């Protein structure tokens, strides 16, 4: 999910004099807005006061992986050709624009049961529902700079609130805070940006914030993993494995009965250079889809790259939906225009049933 201006992301904060500096390329808040909803914590004028309360000061968690920084994508759509990926997508398919919005106002999408999608809006702090006919409505408000959504197999819906006093919030069936503390400190004390999340059937949620964290159903937060440059995160359908983008690779963990993570290992390499992968989802056959610089990368259950579905612009979030879950939706971004699009492409593969993604 996007917490920066490019698909190439820097999630770890830079610590200077005990203060967390904004991540490279992070999208600025709306013009003239210094604090409050729509402003990510690292840009909020009140953040220094919150950080003074940290028992453990923020530290850099991650950083830019080796290699040159990529140039910003050129304005406007680019030419692309979809080639066949057997069982996944037919040759010649085209992405269609289904919705567009100004500002940093589309991210963290997931499917609804009626074939639509839910969209988190950073600047507006709303959650929008886009139905299968392209019509929108406001589903939830006041998310404190909500940036990503997750739904578990029992229908519980969560959002990560990226504003000051960051938190994981449950939106349905009850509106309440799941987690806002780590070792007694505000989540802001971790450093970096609260980024992506995925929910389990036990009422907990995994999230990335310069590392991998798990909040159990009681709001107790644990950290896992080593040497991770994290962004997108997703649970397998059987909830036995967790996958997280790690620079130009995807890391895999085994999930234990209590939600803890073990056996970190590399699952797959990503193509295309830059800072690596972003949003992720699975299809019903267990193939993993990861947004990255070239488009949507498709990875087999054995970790082998099956191909890339190229996109007209950079994409940051992806989910299957539509009446039969055979439409792949993605969030597309043009920084020069400060605009987001929801784009969609017809697939041979079918999305999973149960969770929202």
* Cα torsion 265, 270, 276, 278: sign: negative
Q: What's the pLDDT tens digit per position in 253-276? A: 999 999 999 999 999 999 876 667
Q: What's the pLDDT tens digit per position in 237-259? A: 999 999 999 989 999 999 999 99
Q: What angle do CA 276, 1, 148 make, to 5 degrees?
A: 160
| CATH fold label, 96-346 | Neuraminidase (2.120.10)
Closest CA to 245 of 179, 198, 189: 198
pLDDT at 20 over 90: no
Indicate the domain borders of the chain.
Answer: 96-346
* Model-wide pTM > 0.75: yes
| Residue 104 DSSP one-character state | S
Q: What's the pLDDT tens digit per position in 172-209? A: 999 999 999 999 999 999 988 899 999 999 999 999 99
Longest distance between any two alpha carbons in the chain, whole Å:
56
Give DSSP secondary structure letters for 38-55.
TS-GGG-TTHHHHHTT-S
Q: What's the pLDDT tens digit per position in 91-105? A: 999 999 999 999 999
pLDDT at 9 over 60: no
190 three-class SS: helix
């Amino acid at each position: 999910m996007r917490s920066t201006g490019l698909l190439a992301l820097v999630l770890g904060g830079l610590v200077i004099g005990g203060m967390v500096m904004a991540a490279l390329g992070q999208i600025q808040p709306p013009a003239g807005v210094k604090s409050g909803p729509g402003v990510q914590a690292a840009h909020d004028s009140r953040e220094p006061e919150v950080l003074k309360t940290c028992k453990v000061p923020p530290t850099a968690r991650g950083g830019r992986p080796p290699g040159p920084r990529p140039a910003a994508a050129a304005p406007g759509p680019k030419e692309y050709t979809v080639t066949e990926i057997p069982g996944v997508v037919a040759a010649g398919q085209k992405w269609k624009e289904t919705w567009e919005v100004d500002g940093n106002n589309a991210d963290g999408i997931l499917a609804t049961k009626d074939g639509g999608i839910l969209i988190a809006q950073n600047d507006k702090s709303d959650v929008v529902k886009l139905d299968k006919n392209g019509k929108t409505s406001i589903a939830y408000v006041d998310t404190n700079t909500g940036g990503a959504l997750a739904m578990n197999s029992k229908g519980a819906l969560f959002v990560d609130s990226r504003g000051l006093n960051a938190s994981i919030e449950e939106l349905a069936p009850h509106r309440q805070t799941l987690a806002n503390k780590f070792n007694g400190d505000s989540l802001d004390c971790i450093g970096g940006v609260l980024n992506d999340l995925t929910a389990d059937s036990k009422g907990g949620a995994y999230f990335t914030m310069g590392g991998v964290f798990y909040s159990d159903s009681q709001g107790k937060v644990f950290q896992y993993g080593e040497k991770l440059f994290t962004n997108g995160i997703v649970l397998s359908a059987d909830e036995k494995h967790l996958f997280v983008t790690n620079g130009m690779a995807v890391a895999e963990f085994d999930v234990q009965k209590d939600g803890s993570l073990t056996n970190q290992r590399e699952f797959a390499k990503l193509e295309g250079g830059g800072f690596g992968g972003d949003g992720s989802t699975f299809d019903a056959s267990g193939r993993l889809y990861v947004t990255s610089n070239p488009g949507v990368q498709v990875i087999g259950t054995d970790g082998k790259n099956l191909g890339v579905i190229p996109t007209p612009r950079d994409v940051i979030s992806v989910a299957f939906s539509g009446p039969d879950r055979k439409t792949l939706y993605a969030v597309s971004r043009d920084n020069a225009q400060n605009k987001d699009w929801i784009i969609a492409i017809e697939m041979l593969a079918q999305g999973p049933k149960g969770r929202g993604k």
